[in-house]
Structure 1
Amino acid sequence: MNKIQIDIVSDIACPWCAIGYARLERAMAQLAPAYEFRIQWHAFELNPDHTGQGEPILPALAKKYGRSEQEMRENQSNMLTIATELGLNFEKIQERLTCNTFDAHRLVKWAGEQGQQTAMKQALFDAYFGKAMDVSDHTVLLGCVTALGLDPVKAKRILDSDQYTAMVREEEATYQQAGVTSVPAFIINSKYLISGAQEPDALVQVLQEIGAGAA
């Protein structure tokens, strides 16, 4: 059996990161059981300096990219269509507010030690894009923890401390220095980079080629 390590650099506030992983899941399902995949999530912040109250997403994106709100609305609508086809809940993608994701990344690290890293990431995607919840709000984060059956008391202690802060900062710096400037970024076997939310068939082909080379 071919074993493939996939390191995923992503942000919870990135809709293409959720779409990219859903597409990767389909690719991995096509390649099973000939391949065994190990997934590791790594932090990236699209809006690291965000503080205070969030802004409505459409005007915020329009300002960031120098586009009209209508163009941003159409862009988000397109993502909603893609996500729905993949079984993702993006129902409130256009109703969300901008927010800081640093504490959410800290909880993803902690959940990884409980074997629930991917589940935590998906719960956060669902909260933000499906329910327009503020994933910088500790109450929202603890709700995700509880929904996964993890210990909210331990999670609250982490959020109230600086645990995993250095780890997340170091990880962000590492991938920035490695040249990762946009997400999602999939690093295969610590050697090959796949940028963006590629279609499942394209991912299958690339993973097969990498697997053949590693065999």
Structure 2
Amino acid sequence: MSRVVKIDVVSDVVCPWCALGVTALEQAIESLAGEVEVELTYKPFELNPEMPAAGEHAIEHMMRKYGRSAEQVAQRNAMIIQRGEEIGFHFDLEKRSHFYNTFDAHRLLFWASTQGRQRALKKLLLRAYFTDGKNPDDRKTLVNLAKDAGLDSERAEAVLASAEFSREVRELEAFYQQRGIQSVPAMVINDRHILSGSQSVADYRQALRQAAQVGAHV
């Protein structure tokens, strides 16, 4: 009989380390099917909550926000691309030209969690942004991705046209910030332990097995 482990992954859809972490974690979960049962939910975190609708050029953003040179940004991007290829996630960082606001994407993900389609939508959002260069702040893009994830497109459009789930997303963001999470991805295991940063498939597999051994779904 498999043991249940509760995992909350705090992440953003424009965070490359989150794309790596989500891909590796999902692979680890799949590899442990029948051994460890995982209840996985994605929780909101905005890297750039004040980002305007037009977004900001990715290289200029990295240079401004983190004080990096263009060469340092290029080196970092090359490392991310390589790590992605190792686990089957393709980054096209030329297509991904800008950083965007992600609040609407998080509202849609929250709704998707109530419909049992959040994991599917999360993976589609990450690939749409990092592989296809799509704007996760564009409502038409979000509605199409929701449909691809098996969600009702008219309901998705209604959610995005309103302020629905705004309060819930803000409350979750505040909750995890109060728990000390200031960078992502952060994996909260059984509401008790936090595994920070993007890990390998093997590391996630080990963490899941350990969590199942000590216990329990709480």
TM-score of Structure 1 vs Structure 2, range by shorter chain: over 0.9
- Given that residues 7 and 42 in structure 1 are in contact (C-alpha distance below 8 angstroms), is that contact kept between their aligned partners in structure 2? yes
Q: Report the 3-state secondary structure (helix = DSSP H, G, I; strand = E; otherwise coil) of the residue aligned with 1:121.
A: helix
Q: Is the 8 A contact 1:76 1:94 kept in 2?
A: no
Q: Aligned partner of 2:214: which letter? A: G
Q: CA deviation at 1:94?
A: 6.2
Return the alpha-carbon distance in structure 1 between the equivalents of residues 162 and 174 of structure 2.
21
Cα 1:94–1:153 change in 2 (3 A) is closer
Paired residues of 2:42 and 2:118 also in contact (CA < 8 A): yes
Q: For this pair of structures, how many residues does the alignment match?
A: 215
Q: CA RMSD in A?
A: 1.4
Q: CA deviation at 1:163?
A: 0.5
TM-score normalized by the length of structure 2: 0.93
Q: Is 1:13 matched with 2:14? A: yes
Residues 163-213 of structure 1 deviation map (CA, whole Å, 9 limit, x = unaligned): 000000000000001100100000111111100111122222222222211
Structure 1 consecutive aligned stretches of length 4 or more whose deviation exceeds 4 Å = none
Aligned counterpart, 2:49: 48
Query: What amino acid is aligned across from residue 22 of structure 1 in structure 2?
Result: T
Q: Deviations over 1:64-120 (max 9, x none)?
A: 111101211121121112112212231236632111000000000111122110111
On the 8 A contact 1:93/1:130 being kept in 2, the answer is no
- Structure 2 unaligned runs (5+)? none
Superposed, 1:171-182 pairs within 5 Å as 171-182=172-183
Could you tell me how far apart the structure 2 residues matched to 1:4 and 1:52 are?
38
Identity %: 37
Contact 1:96 1:128 (8 Å CA) reproduced: no
Amino acid at match of 1:192: H
Counterpart CA distance in 2 for 1:72 and 1:22 is: 23
CA contact (8 A) 2:96 2:131 kept: no
Give the CA deviation at 1:44: 0.3
Equivalent residue, structure 1, for 2:32: 31
- Give the match for residue 139 of structure 2: 138
Equivalent position of 2:121 in the other structure: 120
Mean Cα displacement is larger for which, 80-89 or 16-25?
A: 80-89
TM norm structure 1? 0.95
Equivalent-residue separation in structure 2 for 1:206 and 1:148 (angstroms): 28
Taking the aligned partners of 1:28 and 1:93, their CA distance within structure 2 comes to 31
Query: Using the alignment, how far apart are the partners of 1:112 and 1:95 within structure 2?
Result: 26
For structure 1, the 5+ residue unaligned runs are none
Task: Report the AA paired with residue 138 of structure 2.
Answer: D
Match of 1:101?
Answer: 102
Separation in structure 2 between the aligned mates of residue 55 and residue 162 of structure 1, nearest angstrom = 24
Whether the aligned pair in 2 keeps the contact of 1:4 and 1:36 (CA below 8 Å) is yes
2: distance between equivalents of 1:35 and 1:204? 10
